[in-house]
Structure 1
């Protein structure tokens, strides 16, 4: 299936900065909105606006595309909440074949996603009576029943939480058919609340937290021993380790155990299997930078090594391909991606930009706001580079004058192959001259006819500053380094939508 990039009717629209913009098809707008959302308020949209827009776009899109987008968002972009939204909202308007159930089986990757999906189903359908999940969609029921056979006792016990919908509730509701006798015994344990308590860092620390200690020194010693025991157990997941590096340092564990943590963090197989979004490494790095412990630098080095490992699979460009990387540091990019996160869109753009810079041989990089400034960094220290950019953002101001990246190339008559902007694509000209992003690109194409422009949309607001239907302009959206897989799949006859549509149901 092939989708046009733009609506057939080119409406005269403006972006959130009141600058001229171009609209996208429903499929392209949904793609950009989905892969750039944490379902929290963005700079330009209120709390429910993004969710409402996604629901509206689902109604306008091909159901098969919506299903494939949900699978892409979960399995390749490593998003958890929004794929469940796509399932439930699509199920409201689509029935008749096995599309929904197939979609569910491919999206559900953790045991708690079974109950999370049902909780959203209950909320989305405004079920307020006693039997809130009565009359469950048959296709949702079928998909969840199949998904029950994907998990073992440890996985069920780990996520057997006291939420609005419990695993026991889900089991009774969807009636999964056990694949063998052992699975039936497991289902009986879920029903009888007799799942064995799993050995996890959460359960172990929770139990220790309930112990009364004689004094603070005794408590410190107990937590040191517990963290060392947890590290030796090799049962702390990669994300849990990233999030607990500060706690591990504060627990004053031995240098041997810090070395063990560092080795695991920078282990190539562990890094690739962890499927961490790039900004997770940055968040951990910044948390550690502020600490004054004797082993802090060892962990900082391990995080740099981990990011280098994660970048290995990114297909960069050789010495014969000239690349410009421009990171948007405007005011609208300085918005936290969620209320509980210290990470901003600004950080994500810098992180992705530095990852790509690391993989290119012939590259110039910099940042733009009121001005465009080239700030070339060494390739080795990706996280340190991001931090350096972060400290210097005020040097270019806070507008979104992306056109200046192109005007600089024109003025220097510099011919490059690829221009990449990491941005919320809310371009405008704060000097209010006739120059616009689209005009600058059209002028640049006259001196560099083979150049290609890539807009990495980090916000998904639904408009673009240039017609992406022609002149070698592409829109790619998302916060994961997997966006570079899309980049390398693009040519004159492809789009990000074609990449998603390759997914089999």
Structure 2
């Protein structure tokens, strides 16, 4: 019988069955939502259910509503809505802010913001101001509300007021720049919110963005220059125009060099292939200028660049991008990794999951524009960054079994990552890490394990949780484990213990959480609760 998910009411989900709305208890399957008992993970292996707060943090810091190796986007949505119905608005508010500001995530924070607005929460306006910080996030927010998944399909008076306020806060150029993008477009959003200004020129800009007839004399200079070039009335290519609009114009190499010269750091990083395709990178002066910009520490920090973004750039650039620019991205990576902690521990062990499921795109599979960066890429980068800051650390790669990855003392981050990735393949056996430590008599004070946590190739007698208890008892009573999970799921490979940190995400904030844990047994839920609204 066909069922259609309609939304959440309290702790029930509303479904349409044979044309009628019925309510079902979301918590019917207690096995899924257990916080201590052993359960089965998506791969069929032994796992431990997370609490509602722990699971929500994991989903927000890793989820994108795209299909992963084991989990569909739809199931992520259902799980998040179910868990969100069990926690206070204050926690959701703090988590939305944490996910956006610390995790730099988009979809999940926008969903939580929309959910709070739909609930009429007193925290919704404060969350909106911090989470909906650009046009892409605004479109996400409106899409979430209009989809009906949070219990409504209209914006409502509060959401309209928030959207109007956001649009009014944009300067003229930022508003024009925000008009790029679809599903929904800014035009769709403006049709829903009906923003109006007291200023005649601003209203003219609103009309222009929405494609309505307008007196050109009232428009900003940069739009008139763009329209003049578009109409063939000017030969000078506009320098101030959204990049996506420039790519559609009949521009020559000289035009592109002028655009590249005036580009911001992020725009430069994202469009290296575009510059190469248009001949910009055949000019030695342009190569040096772009390389200098990309390696500029102040600009890197101002752009809030983090390692995952730089790895994406490195994996995506084509052969036409010269070595000088590739080297500049390497330098930028070093700056972005400055907050990776150096542990006062010569026995540190870094265990990286290289199993087959780690080959899935880290942001999930999409119908278009699926990321080239895999879970393994992200895990290897985290391991390599930690190894670069902790040269005495031992690197282990595991799948069915476990082996050591030997790298030179002064090896660069991306080179270390490539060496880890060379072992890709096999089934997931997280317990093999502890078994390796036991078999080789390796004592560590701190073990950092990076995985998708879908361990299944171990068996109940050799699972990580059982072996960790044995290792603590027989080998290293003071040892601590940091279990970093980079995929959206409600399970952990280990039971919750004081000596074990469960942390989720693939932004550089995970390093701060690790450092805090080793300083005082705090965890990621505590980090969320520490957010000030």
- Indicate whether the TM-score tops 0.5: yes
Tell me, in whole angstroms, the C-alpha distance in 2 between the residues paired with 1:333 and 1:303: 25
Tell me, in whole angstroms, the C-alpha distance in 2 between the residues paired with 1:230 and 1:380: 36
Partner SS state of residue 504, structure 1:
coil
Match of 2:7 in 1: none
C-alpha contact 1:35 1:477 (8 A) present in aligned 2: yes
Residues 82-481 of structure 1 aligned to structure 2 (within 5 Å): 82-92=108-118, 94-95=119-120, 97-124=121-148, 134=154, 136-161=155-180, 163=182, 165-167=184-186, 170=189, 174=193, 185-186=201-202, 189-191=205-207, 193=209, 194=219, 196-197=222-223, 198-208=240-250, 222=252, 224-233=253-262, 235-238=263-266, 240-253=267-280, 254-288=283-317, 291=319, 293=320, 296-318=322-344, 320-336=345-361, 337-339=364-366, 340-378=370-408, 379-390=410-421, 392-394=422-424, 397-430=425-458, 432=459, 434-446=461-473, 447-468=475-496, 470-481=497-508
The 1:8/1:32 distance shift into structure 2, 3 A limit, reads closer
Equivalences, count: 466
Over residues 108-159 of structure 1, what are the superposed CA-to-partner deviations in whole Å (9 max), with x where a residue is unaligned? 11134323322321112699xxxx965x334433433443354211111101
Match of 1:13 in 2: 39
Partner SS state of residue 346, structure 1:
helix
TM-score by length of 2: 0.80
Tell me, in whole angstroms, the C-alpha distance in 1 between the residues paired with 2:166 and 2:455: 44
The partner residue of 1:80 within 98, 102, 106 is 106
Unaligned segments of structure 2, at least 5 residues: 1-31, 210-218, 224-239
The 1:172/1:106 distance shift into structure 2, 3 A limit, reads same
Measured after TM superposition, the shift of residue 370 of structure 1 is: 1.6
1:62 aligns with 2:81: no
C-alpha contact 1:329 1:367 (8 A) present in aligned 2: yes
Tell me, in whole angstroms, the C-alpha distance in 1 between the residues paired with 2:339 and 2:489: 29
Partner SS state of residue 392, structure 2:
strand
Please say which of residues 404-413 and 38-47 is displaced more in the overlay: 404-413
C-alpha contact 1:100 1:143 (8 A) present in aligned 2: no
Q: CA RMSD in A?
A: 2.8
Tell me, in whole angstroms, the C-alpha distance in 2 between the residues paired with 1:330 and 1:166: 40
Tell me, in whole angstroms, the C-alpha distance in 1 between the residues paired with 2:143 and 2:465: 44
Tell me, in whole angstroms, the C-alpha distance in 2 between the residues paired with 1:81 and 1:206: 28
Tell me, in whole angstroms, the C-alpha distance in 2 between the residues paired with 1:311 and 1:458: 18
Partner SS state of residue 122, structure 1:
helix
Tell me, in whole angstroms, the C-alpha distance in 1 between the residues paired with 2:516 and 2:162: 31
Partner SS state of residue 72, structure 2:
coil
Tell me, in whole angstroms, the C-alpha distance in 2 between the residues paired with 1:9 and 1:44: 21
Tell me, in whole angstroms, the C-alpha distance in 1 between the residues paired with 2:500 and 2:260: 48
1:40 aligns with 2:82: no
The 1:323/1:187 distance shift into structure 2, 3 A limit, reads farther
Tell me, in whole angstroms, the C-alpha distance in 2 between the residues paired with 1:177 and 1:487: 47
Tell me, in whole angstroms, the C-alpha distance in 1 between the residues paired with 2:433 and 2:128: 43
C-alpha contact 1:104 1:140 (8 A) present in aligned 2: no
Partner SS state of residue 507, structure 2:
coil
The 1:283/1:165 distance shift into structure 2, 3 A limit, reads closer
Tell me, in whole angstroms, the C-alpha distance in 2 between the residues paired with 1:120 and 1:189: 27
Measured after TM superposition, the shift of residue 8 of structure 1 is: 7.4
The 1:105/1:176 distance shift into structure 2, 3 A limit, reads farther
C-alpha contact 1:105 1:144 (8 A) present in aligned 2: no
Measured after TM superposition, the shift of residue 326 of structure 1 is: 1.1
Tell me, in whole angstroms, the C-alpha distance in 1 between the residues paired with 2:337 and 2:186: 37
Tell me, in whole angstroms, the C-alpha distance in 2 between the residues paired with 1:200 and 1:331: 40
Unaligned segments of structure 1, at least 5 residues: 1-5, 210-221
C-alpha contact 1:102 1:143 (8 A) present in aligned 2: no
Over residues 470-489 of structure 1, what are the superposed CA-to-partner deviations in whole Å (9 max), with x where a residue is unaligned? 25011010011111111112
Tell me, in whole angstroms, the C-alpha distance in 2 between the residues paired with 1:77 and 1:154: 28
C-alpha contact 1:73 1:79 (8 A) present in aligned 2: yes
Match of 2:21 in 1: none
TM-score by length of 1: 0.84
